[in-house]
Structure 1
Amino acid sequence: MKHVQIAFCPIILALTVGVYAQQLSSPNDQAFVAKVSQGGRYEVEASKLAIQKAVAQDVKDIASSEVHDHELVNAELKRISIAKHVSIAPDLNAEFQGKLAQLKALNGSSFDAAYMSEMATIHDKDEKLFAQEANDGGSVDFKNFAAATDRIVKRHIGALHGLDH
């Protein structure tokens, strides 16, 4: 009988941990983290590249702001994700690696235009994701994070659309 009890202990422990983890994050939260963590990491990497390669000073200025703001946002997302037991992929996925490679291949005003276009596109998508999570997220922590970050994304959209590149 002791063998049967011992055999059930790992199963009960696994079920308990699984239920606990589910209470910490919803499927919506997990999908949100998967999407915005990739986008945030890409924005930082592309913007670091823009600081080096951009020709126009206003593009470099936007890139500096992007790096600063998104490194802070990414760190907060990571902090909440750890607390809620939501994993974040350690590297950029193939889609964003490809986009970064395309930017690396460009120079001069072609780089500036492509970078600004990329940032406008991703911020427009991000704004929708953050607004949706702020309204429909499962965890109060992720909802609050999304609402606060949505304001930052909207500010970035204003800056990006305010330039003629």
Structure 2
Amino acid sequence: MKASFGVVLAAALVSASVAYAQGSASDADKAFVGKVSQGGRYEVEASKVALMKARAQDVKDLANSEVHDHELVNKKLKMISATEHVAIAPALNAEFSGKLEHLRGLSGADFDAAYLSDMAEIHDKDEKLFAQEAVNGGAADYKDFAAETDPIVKRHIGALHGTDSK
């Protein structure tokens, strides 16, 4: 009897350790992380290019805000994901790498227009993702992160609309 109690106790401890190591992130949380981590990384990289190549000052100002805000957001997402044991891809995927290379090949007004278009598209997608995660996320840390970040994304959307006439 004592031997089987020890076996049951050991199995329970192993099971609890595995559950802890996996974190509380749901599959939906993991999909959220995959999408917004790629988008956030792209926004930083594209905005760094915009700081060098943008022609209009308001586009450069937007790019500066993008780099600042998304570096902070990306850092927080990485910290939460480390705690939740959710992997974040170390580099941009093929889609975003292609978009970045396309931007690098542009200049002047063509660059500004393409950059603003990319930022508008990604922010519209991200805002929906953050709003959904804030309500339906599985892990509390991701829900809280999404709720805190959604207003930042909305502020960026507002700033993008301020550049529409350019």
User: How far off its partner does 1:12 sit?
Assistant: 8.7
Provide the C-alpha distance between the structure 2 equivalents of 1:67 and 1:152, rounded to a whole number of angstroms. 13
Relative distance call for 1:113 and 1:14 in structure 2 (3 A) is farther
Any gaps of 5 or more consecutive residues in structure 1? 1-10
Provide the C-alpha distance between the structure 1 equivalents of 2:50 and 2:67, rounded to a whole number of angstroms. 10
Provide the C-alpha distance between the structure 2 equivalents of 1:41 and 1:72, rounded to a whole number of angstroms. 11
User: How far off its partner does 1:24 sit?
Assistant: 2.1
User: How far off its partner does 1:21 sit?
Assistant: 3.9
* 1:28 partner letter: A
Provide the C-alpha distance between the structure 1 equivalents of 2:85 and 2:120, rounded to a whole number of angstroms. 31
In the TM superposition, what are the counterparts of 1:108-127 in structure 2 within 5 Å?
A: 108-127=108-127
Residues 65-107 of structure 1: per-residue CA shift (max 9 Å, x gap): 0000000000000010001111100000000000001101100
TM-score (norm 2): 0.88
Aligned equivalent of 1:60: 60
- Runs of 4+ deviating beyond 6 Å: 11-14
TM-score (norm 1): 0.89
Aligned equivalent of 1:36: 36
User: How far off its partner does 1:23 sit?
Assistant: 4.5
Matched, 1:80 2:90: no
Provide the C-alpha distance between the structure 1 equivalents of 2:23 and 2:55, rounded to a whole number of angstroms. 49
Relative distance call for 1:37 and 1:14 in structure 2 (3 A) is farther
Provide the C-alpha distance between the structure 1 equivalents of 2:60 and 2:87, rounded to a whole number of angstroms. 32
Provide the C-alpha distance between the structure 1 equivalents of 2:49 and 2:101, rounded to a whole number of angstroms. 11
Aligned equivalent of 1:3: none
In the TM superposition, what are the counterparts of 1:5-16 in structure 2 within 5 Å?
A: none
Matched, 1:132 2:121: no
Identity %: 67
Aligned equivalent of 2:5: none
Determine helix, strand or coil for the equivalent of 2:85.
coil
Root mean square deviation, CA, Å: 1.7
Any gaps of 5 or more consecutive residues in structure 2? 1-10
User: How far off its partner does 1:20 sit?
Assistant: 2.8
Relative distance call for 1:14 and 1:102 in structure 2 (3 A) is farther
Determine helix, strand or coil for the equivalent of 1:92.
coil
Relative distance call for 1:94 and 1:13 in structure 2 (3 A) is farther
Query: In the comparison of the two structures, how many residue pairs are matched?
Result: 155
Aligned equivalent of 1:143: 143
Provide the C-alpha distance between the structure 1 equivalents of 2:91 and 2:13, rounded to a whole number of angstroms. 31
